[in-house]
Structure 1
Amino acid sequence: MSESTTLRAVERLCVGVVEKECFGLLGQSGAGKSATLKMLTGEVVMTNGQAFVNGYSVMSQLRQVQRSIGYCPQTDPLIEHMTCYETLAMFGRLRGIPDSHLNDCVASILEVLELGSHGAKRAGNLSGGMKRKLTTAMSLIGDPSVILLDEPSTGLDPGARRHLWDVLSSVRSGGSTLILTSHSMEECEALCTRVAIMVNGRMKCLGTTQHLKSRFGQGFTLSVRMGLKENGQLASFNPLVTYVQSHFRSAKCFNSDHLQGYAYIQIPDPHTPLSAVFRALESAKLALNVQDYSVHQTSLQQVFLAFTSDQQRYRQPEQKP
């Protein structure tokens, strides 16, 4: 692969996570979130740089690092013929839990993650959500001081997801440090004390969710759905964007869905009157073929979309003929 098409999974990432913090890594697929966790566990060897966990170097003291961490990978690493109880008992022994306490520890964590009635079931017979819970339980057993969670709530129904968040909040309150990756803005707002948004392997912003919304989400966001033209095709939103920018110079379109006909336009000027936004849209609604629209304050999700809008174009370079 030529140098022009070589992509670095993670580049110039420099951040410190304090004890008892829940640190979130946000980003689209391919942003470098999972690669970061894999390097911290030693699953992927860093080609450059340095990382420390509890004062131990990942490059030269990996065995001590691995003793300090629990890891929930993105793909469930389960042995399908082992039961839930046997799986956790095996990891408990690897963690050094004495046999005299092992049964109680396994039973407790099965109960906490609502797997108590599934302890005798083979992992291969579990549903996708139950497998995810079991993988999370594997990362928690033995009370590691640092827990790495790669999208732990994937595949869970809303009730199970909320329960998992409560469990992870209790784990953090008990003294553990959590580092998790997620696509869910709701999950990050519920769990994380700080979040970082990664794009193309680099960290673009860092702070609390409220700081990011205050710093990068000023003004209003327009969500516009275009109507159909006479020929039955969706109307282009390019004239709409031009029209909005002619009225509000700071406006910019940060995301769009050509197939569904949606456009998202941010007006970052906090001094823009809300009445002026509605007046401008209503005046040109028919002429620009706008079916409906909404105006709201910029959310964490909109901040995320604004930062990650160029992710796919950068991570998938065009192939030369």
Structure 2
Amino acid sequence: ERRERDMKEDVDVVEERKRILGFLGSSKDFVCVRNLTKRYKTKGNSRGSILAVDKLCLGIPQGQCFGFLGVNGAGKTTTLKMITGDIDSSYGNAYVMGMDVVTQKTEVRKRMGYCPQFDPLFDRMTAREHLWMYARIRGIHKEDIPEKTNRLLETVGLTIYADIPAGTYSGGNKRKLSLALALIGEPSVVFLDEPSSGMDPVSRRFMWDVIAEVSTKCCVILTTHSMEECEALCSRIGIMVSGTLRCLGSVQHLKARFGKGYNLEAKLSPEKFERFETFIHGHFADAIQVEKLSNGILRYEMPRTKSLSLASIFGLMEKNKGVLEIRDYSVSQSSLEQVFIQIAQQDD
């Protein structure tokens, strides 16, 4: 089983496993999980259980926003629930600030904030009342609560709604309040499960700004389906497939390692298509046309080769754009979404 796992795991995941298992702890890692595993018992399964998370090893330092990507059922939320002590692991250990989340659960929870996927709100309570209640649970002194509450309401943009029942809030404002509840007491580690789900683009950008500011002071771990959210917030990303960590690194690192190549988009008059297509296939024999639109847009995928680079493609396009009568063009690496789909489909 171990040999099979090593064959599947990417080199970065293997190195992280070796780092985590090579010592008992790390002063840099605010969150450390060692061989974290979860099996759910099921009556209908012939094997008697379903493996949700399989021997996960990961360390996350202060000042880092780490993103978990994965399709539904990949094990992201289960991982968060084990690290927060919401559910017990079947095997392995998780540590927050060097403390075991099982044997030192009370101390651990004093240092963490958690924004779950579904808003933990009471419809008849206002935002101010929610924050007051959570502050008291946190053990914050009564005389300090008004100032801390007002500051958080301002931070998440809920000051004008502070004394209105939460049941009347829009989905976006409910997510803002859930984030504020996770931040009460200035935790060292913040867990965010789909933090911007259900938000409009303007509110989402505002939320990202808040999370980005928070992540400079503590350790933030978020799960999301949004590639844009990951690129905006996360300095490191892990993609989970069927309960295992399949790749690990920065957005740029994952694009460089797993991206299939480059994307070229050109805009020109439809009557000039044939000449442009001849040009592309003459200089990029492996280029694949993925889209040809009547509004004058052509899109190509160019498989990565040793001789092909962004600079070489740009240089050739710049040199010939006048002759080919190209109105506009762009060249980019494979997107994070393309990398994610490629890795997520490995088990299909």
TM-score range, shorter chain: 0.7 to 0.9
Consecutive unaligned residues of structure 1, counting only runs of 5 or more, are 224-246, 254-263, 276-293, 314-321
Give the CA deviation at 1:53.
Answer: 0.4
What CA distance in whole angstroms lies between the structure 1 residues aligned with 2:338 and 2:191? Answer: 26
- 1:304 maps onto 2:340 in alignment: yes
What secondary structure, in the 3-state scheme, does the structure 2 residue paired with 1:154 have? Answer: coil
Matched with 1:316 is none
Matched with 2:24 is none
- 1:219 maps onto 2:254 in alignment: no
Matched with 1:165 is 208
Preserved contact between residue 150 and residue 182 of structure 1 (Cα < 8 Å):
yes
What CA distance in whole angstroms lies between the structure 1 residues aligned with 2:127 and 2:247? Answer: 39
State the identity %: 45
Larger strand share, 1 or 2: 2
Q: Which residue identity is paired with 2:339?
A: V
Matched with 2:235 is 193
Matched with 1:152 is 195
What secondary structure, in the 3-state scheme, does the structure 2 residue paired with 1:12 have? Answer: strand
What CA distance in whole angstroms lies between the structure 2 residues aligned with 1:29 and 1:266? Answer: 30
What CA distance in whole angstroms lies between the structure 1 residues aligned with 2:134 and 2:65? Answer: 23
What secondary structure, in the 3-state scheme, does the structure 1 residue paired with 2:53 have? Answer: coil
What CA distance in whole angstroms lies between the structure 2 residues aligned with 1:171 and 1:221? Answer: 34
TM-score normalized by structure 2? Answer: 0.69
- Higher RCO (CA-CA < 8 Å; seq separation 6+): 1
Give the CA deviation at 1:137.
Answer: 0.6
* Structure 1 residues 1-321: aligned runs within 5 Å: 1-4=44-47, 6-173=49-216, 175-220=217-262, 267-271=303-307, 297-310=333-346
What CA distance in whole angstroms lies between the structure 1 residues aligned with 2:74 and 2:302? Answer: 23
What CA distance in whole angstroms lies between the structure 2 residues aligned with 1:43 and 1:120? Answer: 30
Q: CA RMSD in A?
A: 2.7
Preserved contact between residue 114 and residue 190 of structure 2 (Cα < 8 Å):
yes
Preserved contact between residue 149 and residue 178 of structure 1 (Cα < 8 Å):
yes
Preserved contact between residue 286 and residue 302 of structure 2 (Cα < 8 Å):
no
Give the CA deviation at 1:267.
Answer: 2.7
What secondary structure, in the 3-state scheme, does the structure 2 residue paired with 1:42 have? Answer: coil
**Size of the alignment, in residue pairs?**
260
Consecutive unaligned residues of structure 2, counting only runs of 5 or more, are 1-43, 266-284, 291-299, 315-329
Give the CA deviation at 1:6.
Answer: 3.9
Give the CA deviation at 1:5.
Answer: 7.7
TM-score normalized by structure 1? Answer: 0.74
Q: Which residue identity is paired with 2:221?
A: I
What CA distance in whole angstroms lies between the structure 1 residues aligned with 2:179 and 2:306? Answer: 42
- C-alpha deviations, 1:55-95, integer Å up to 9, x for none? 11012111111111000000111111111110011011111
